[in-house]
Amino acid sequence: MEKLTVKAPIVEALERAYKKRSYHFHIPGHTRGEGVYEPFRKLIGDKFFQCDMTDEFDGIGTLNPPTGPIKEAQDKCAELFGAQKSFFLLNGSTIGNLAIAMGLTSKKKKVIVNRNCHRSVITGLIMSGAEPIWINPEKFDEWGLWGEISPQRIETELKRNKDVGMVWITNPTYEGVVSDIKTIAEICKKHEIILVVDEAHGTLWKFNNELPTPALEYGADIVVQSFHKTGGSMSQTSVMHVSKNTKIDIESLQHSLKLLHTTSPSIVLLAGLDAARANLETKEGLKNIQKAVDNAKYLINEIKKLKNISHMEQNIMDCTKIFIKAKNLSGIQLETVLEQDYNIEVEAASDKGLLLLSNIGNSREDFEYLAKCLKEIDKTDYSERFTPEHKKHMPLLTPTIKMRLRDAFYAEKEEVPREKAIGRLSGEVVAECPPGIAILLPGELITEEHLPYLEDYDMIEVIK
């Protein structure tokens, strides 16, 4: 598809509004940047503030309900991704997860959820009162990573619990591990259960055969994607897709979105989503995705030549997420070396290793420099600079649930010293996520088994 034939309705409406010269007696109060703190204005630039307007501006349309160019842009997004409807989200995928929980779950139905879900899923379940059935993921101890969700576990829980209304899976994980969504979708269809997939890190999958297959193509009912993570839009912008074949109550979902969304949506952010979608329809956009894949493969091949640095090699990974570790450095120490010695910023670091992303905006030169730096690090002795770090075990604890999640969250609480919390019920969410896994949730029994993972907490919030 030629770039010139691609339409971006919000971008075009914003351009018209920007070019229209008029007197302004409305919000935002900075009045096209004239009232902005000058150093900030110089940093960001005049044009940004001149484009900063809400969806109430004439000719742009509204977000809730979607009208005008905003509706047109959402419809184009749905068409591109093969969805019945697509909703633009301005509080990240978090707002999509909360709307799903509020609009489609209830106290009467249980929800099967992977324990390493995003924190917003937990928040949504607290808000709705739905009772979770937790499924632990597989794990890769050597790498300190959580793995895929077993379809067999989901099948077992569906047979065991006849009051399940939804299966809610995170795919991929933060580090790019992919579950067998095809089989999970078939299981859900057989049991007539809604399948929701938090596909925050999988926006680009549809557009390259070397990337995993997106959940919508396997029959998921709802998919939430963080466009800003990999798709090229600005921070906090995401999209929620609803399948063409689903039987969910879309109207209820829209009502929840309206309750949760801001009433002053940023047109700049919405235009960024529209532009990211349009870019995926251009030859240049598709070329950049292939470039990201090729750059990742290049780096992996270079890492294979090293003696002390290795990468996680699995056939269930998104190849654009490269997780590496060094023999004599923790992931955090390796991150420190890259940042301080080479001016390289990475996505994340842990005790075991660190995560690098190959993005659509990276060049081959970026990766050649990174490979060169890793080669130098591979040959360097850091024993005088760093001491060995204690590496924590991965907390894969089977929760003992004594109280419903929502009831526990709203129960009267008190704080007690960590050692005195044993035998009490947790009153808070204790989770190193995102990413990670919940160690304790409200209403769960605290045992001695939890203490090694609570070293950073002097006091624990418990239910009175």
Model confidence pLDDT, tens digit, residues 232-242: 999 999 999 99
In this predicted structure, what is the pLDDT of residue 393?
62
- The domains of the chain, with CATH numbers, are 62-266 (3.40.640.10), 292-378 (3.90.1150.150), 405-463 (3.90.105.10)
Distance CA 25, CA 16 (A): 19
Task: Label residue 115 by pLDDT band (50, 70, 90).
Answer: very high
* pLDDT bracket for residue 436 (50, 70, 90): confident
- Bridge partners of 197, per DSSP, are 169, 223
Tokens of 245: 């074949």
pLDDT per position as a tens digit, 136-194: 999 998 999 999 999 999 999 999 999 999 999 999 999 999 999 999 999 999 999 99
CA dihedral 444→450→455→459, nearest 10 degrees, is: 30
Gap between the Cα atoms of 455 and 453, Å rounded: 6
CA distance linking residue 109 with residue 123, whole number of Å: 17
Q: How far is CA 201 from CA 92, 163, 225, 242, in A?
A: 12, 30, 7, 17
| pLDDT range class, residue 2, cuts 50, 70, 90 | very low
Query: pTM of the prediction?
Result: 0.95
Length of the chain, in residues:
464
* Stretch 104-108: mean pLDDT: 90
Find where tokens 């960590």 sit. 418
Distance CA 104, CA 98 (A): 10
How does pLDDT run across 302-349, given as a tens digit for each residue? 999 999 999 998 788 999 999 999 999 999 999 999 999 999 999 999
Place of tokens 């924590």: 392
SS3 of 132, please? strand
Burial profile 391-413: b = 16 or more Cβ within 10 angstroms, e = fewer: eeebbebebebebbbbebbebeb
Distance CA 109, CA 33 (A): 50
Residue carrying structure tokens 């971008």: 11
The whole-angstrom separation of Cα 254 and Cα 66 is 10
Q: What is the mean pLDDT of residues 215-234?
A: 98
